[in-house]
């Protein structure tokens, strides 16, 4: 990370950095108030060539590093937009990693590339199933030439039509058989509850989709080869998540560092500790994202990075708030918004509980 008079710089592309920050920063307050659609931001990032960097097996490893930088740069100004970007980028990754002859791949990738269709991920339970063998909450059975799917996704975002999301289901008679499939707002048997009121990230169109005898056709299938598929997408999933934590922490520590004067210098040791941890997170994001074979990256290293990055962001925003004083407590201040946004990180899947549990199991 470098810093300029205009603030921290994560992107090694000055022009792209400026264009991303100018756009994202100008609309952050409107996004927080649900006055503008996140879809517009995805389409804008698509126009900048900032959506499809670092696809595994299709592009150079350093392109994923650039995708992480872009995500972190968006998070400097707005976590809602960064989170929406992660959701959309993961949908792009899923369809790229689908079977080559998958009709869903050919159908949805062009729409995702432009932002015409909003990409969503319903893959948290699939990740947990892969890492720890926890049961999938969605099941399927075969009826004729299609699947009948039942169950509930605990949480998914970017569910603003037209959207496409990717989930996994287990055969109700043989849970070792699993399928990765796509669903849209038009999937028969899909029920979308209303968007609940959230502390922050309200604009992300998040809810708990339910499948009640939902019909999934062959055209919706990405793959039945579940474990190799998850192995290909897991590193991207966790590295881009870690990147928006990196961006949020960077912004808060930049704000905090400008206020360490007078009596506030009592927090200087805390600030220096957080800065050292930020350097560690950034170094690991850059090193792991540049790995030539993502399937070979140790799962424990990815999980530890995600845990460390989330904790760092939360503690950095807390320090910023303490140093900002009363003006940071104003409802529409950037500090107050970052406090609300950071509160999401311990409960975002994989949650802090899940991360600690998975790390304890692998110790």
CATH number of 84's domain:
1.10.540.10
User: Distance between CA 189 and CA 198 in Å, rounded?
Assistant: 26
Examine the domain organization and report whether 163 and 93 are in the same domain.
no
Asked whether residue 108 is domain-assigned, the answer is: yes
User: Could you tell me if 280 and 295 lie in one domain?
Assistant: yes
Residue 92 has a pLDDT of 98
Last residue within a domain, chosen from 64, 91, 114: 114
pLDDT at 4 over 70: no
Q: Is 299 exposed, middle or buried (0-12, 13-18, 19+ CB in 10 A)?
A: middle
| Residues 45 and 166 occupy one common structural domain | no
* 142 SS3 class: strand
Q: In this structure, are residues 244 and 75 in contact, taking their beta carbons and an 8 Å threshold?
A: yes
Whether the predicted pLDDT of 230 surpasses 60: yes
Same domain membership, residue 337 and residue 316: yes
If asked whether residues 203 and 251 sit together in one domain, one would say no
258-274, pLDDT tens digit by residue?
999 999 999 999 999 99
Q: What is the dihedral of CA 78, 80, 86, 88, to 10 degrees?
A: -120
pLDDT in tens, 304-317: 999 999 999 999 99
**Is residue 5 domain-resident?**
no
Residue 238's CB is within 10 A of a number of other CB atoms, namely: 22
Tokens 């205009």, located at residue: 6
Beta carbons of 166 and 112 less than 8 angstroms apart:
no
Specify if 3 maps to a domain.
no
Rounded average pLDDT over 137-150: 98
Q: Looking at residue 271, which CATH number applies to its domain?
A: 1.20.140.10
Structural domain contains residue 36:
yes
162 prior amide bond cis, ω within 30: yes
pLDDT > 60? residue 5: no
Residue 2's pLDDT is 64
Tell me how far CA of residue 177 lies from CA of 136, 168, 173, 221, in angstroms: 11, 10, 9, 14
Q: What is the mean pLDDT of residues 237-246?
A: 99
Query: In this structure, are 200 and 217 located in the same domain?
Result: yes
Q: Are 320 and 342 in contact (CB under 8 A)?
A: no
Residues 295 and 350 both lie in one domain:
yes
- Tell me what pLDDT residue 6 has: 67
Q: Does residue 202 surpass a pLDDT of 50?
A: yes
- Write out pLDDT tens, residues 93-119: 999 999 999 999 999 999 999 999 999
pLDDT, tens digit (0-9, with 9 covering 90-100), for 278-302: 999 999 999 999 999 999 999 999 9
The CATH number given to whatever domain includes residue 148 is 2.40.110.10
Q: What is the model's pLDDT at position 331?
A: 87
How far is CA 214 from its chain centroid? 26
Residues 103, 138 within the same domain: no
- Tally of domains within the chain: 3
pTM above 0.85, yes or no: yes
Closest by CA position to 180, among listed 210, 216, 146, 144: 216
- Report the 10 Å Cβ neighbour count for 292: 8
Burial class of 195 by CB neighbour count within 10 A (0 to 12, 13 to 18, 19+)? middle
328 shares its domain with 216: no
Within-domain flag for 199: yes
CA–CA distance, 146 with 181 (Å, rounded to integer) = 12
* Judgement on whether residues 65 and 91 belong to the same structural domain of the protein: yes
Confidence bin at 60 (pLDDT 50/70/90): confident
User: At a CB cut-off of 8 Å and minimum separation 6, what does 109 contact?
Assistant: 92, 95, 96
Query: How many other CB atoms are there within 10 angstroms of residue 363's CB atom?
Result: 5
Is residue 324 assigned to a domain? Answer: yes
**Tokens, residue 46:** 């698509």
* 103 vs 121: CA distance, rounded Å: 19
Boundary (domain end) residue, out of 114, 147, 171? 114
Among 46, 80, 114, the domain-final residue is 114
User: Is 4 inside any structural domain?
Assistant: no
Looking at the fold, whether 233 and 129 belong to one and the same domain comes out as: no
Lookup: tokens for 199:
């502390």
Domain that holds residue 98: 10-114
Same domain membership, residue 275 and residue 233: yes
């Amino acid at each position: 990370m470098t810093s300029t008079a205009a603030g921290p710089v994560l992107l090694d592309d000055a022009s792209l950095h400026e264009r991303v920050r100018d756009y994202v920063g100008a609309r952050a307050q409107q996004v927080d108030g649900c006055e503008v659609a996140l879809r517009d931001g995805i389409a804008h990032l698509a126009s900048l060539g900032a959506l499809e960097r670092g696809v595994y097996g299709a592009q150079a490893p350093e392109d994923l590093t650039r995708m992480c930088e872009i995500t972190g740069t968006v998070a400097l100004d707005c976590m809602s937009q960064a989170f929406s970007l992660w959701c959309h980028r993961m949908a792009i990754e899923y369809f790229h990693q689908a079977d080559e002859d998958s009709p869903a791949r050919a159908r949805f990738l062009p729409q995702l590339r432009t932002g015409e269709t909003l990409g969503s991920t319903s893959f948290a339970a699939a990740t947990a199933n892969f890492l720890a063998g926890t049961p999938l909450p969605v099941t399927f059975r075969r009826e004729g030439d299609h699947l009948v799917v039942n169950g509930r996704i605990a949480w998914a975002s970017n569910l603003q039509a037209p959207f496409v999301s990717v989930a996994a289901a287990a055969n109700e008679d043989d849970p070792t058989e699993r399928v990765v499939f796509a669903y849209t707002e038009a999937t028969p048997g899909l029920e979308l509850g209303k968007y609940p009121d959230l502390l922050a990230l309200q604009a992300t169109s998040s809810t708990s989709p339910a499948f009640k005898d939902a019909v999934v056709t062959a055209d919706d299938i990405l793959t039945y080869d579940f474990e190799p598929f998850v192995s290909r997408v897991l590193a991207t999933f966790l590295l881009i998540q870690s990147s928006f934590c990196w961006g949020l922490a960077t912004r808060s520590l930049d704000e905090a560092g400008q206020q360490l004067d007078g009596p506030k210098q009592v927090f200087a040791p805390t600030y220096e500790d957080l800065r050292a941890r930020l350097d560690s997170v950034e170094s690991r994001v850059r090193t792991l994202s540049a790995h030539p074979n993502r399937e070979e990256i140790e799962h424990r290293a990815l999980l530890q990075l995600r845990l460390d990055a989330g904790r760092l962001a939360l503690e950095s925003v807390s320090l910023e708030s303490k140093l900002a004083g009363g003006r940071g407590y104003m409802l529409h201040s950037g500090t107050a918004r970052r406090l609300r946004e950071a509160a999401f990180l311990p409960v975002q899947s994989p949650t802090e509980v899940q991360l600690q549990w998975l790390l304890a199991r692998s110790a």
